[in-house]
Amino acid sequence: MSSAKVVPEIEKYRKAGYDIDPLFINRWSPRSFLDKAVPDEILFSVFEAARWAPSALNIQPWRFVVARTKDDLEKFHSFILPGNLTWCEKAPVLTLIISEKTDDKMGENAAHAFDTGAAWGYLSLQASLKGLVTHPMGGFDKEKARKVLNIPDKYALHAVVAIGYQGQKSALPVNLQEREQPSPRRPLDETIHEGSF
């Protein structure tokens, strides 16, 4: 998908207040996934985009634990909470985004979460450009995930992201069908504090 135009279906729900690339409007987080594999070239382009995110001292604290085989996906399913599992079980790729909290150069890295958030943003936008959808989830058992995936304590666990091709709304349970639409945003003037807070 090119970023040339806002997708008409999405435009019904979202209008930018200022001129921005349609890419930012077109990315959203659906829950319906097709049972369709993501080719390696496309999947790795998504992580490649995240690789180029900026970070304090260029530490690049983000790491991605990726599941795309049946066995690895089942491991992820074991720690995702039921409300999310109902829809994300169909996603062909799940990735846990984590970040290294400490670094040899700076000790405690106060920017690890900030920087990893930027990497997630790049990842999700590149996915959208490639015709994929992403859906991040905080609803998973972090302690269980740490154990199941052997993640050392010096890494913070942030979100599991489902990656794949968008499915039909009608494939979802009825309660989720109602929520399957792009969300709005508050007006920009409620976010910007000019001069001081």
Residues that bind ligand FMN (CB under 6 A): 28-29, 84, 136-139, 159, 182-183
Our CB check for ligand FMN shows the closer of 92 and 195 to be: 92
Concatenating the DSSP letter of every residue in 106-149 gives TEE-TTHHHHHHHHHHHHHHHHHHTT-EEEEE--B-HHHHHHHT
**Minimum separation from the CB atom of position 52 to ligand FMN (A):** 20
Read off φ and ψ for residue 123, nearest 5 degrees. -55, -50
Measured from the CB atom, the residue of 136 and 142 that comes closer to ligand FMN is 136
Indicate the pairing of strand 133-137 with strand 62-67: unpaired
Residue nearest to ligand FMN according to CB distances in the complex: 139
Q: Please report how close the Cβ of residue 169 comes to ligand FMN at its closest, in angstroms.
A: 14
Residue closest to 50 by CA, chosen among 166, 165, 182, 161: 161
Beta carbon nearer to ligand FMN, 136 or 151: 136
Comparison of 84 and 99: residue with beta carbon closer to ligand FMN: 84
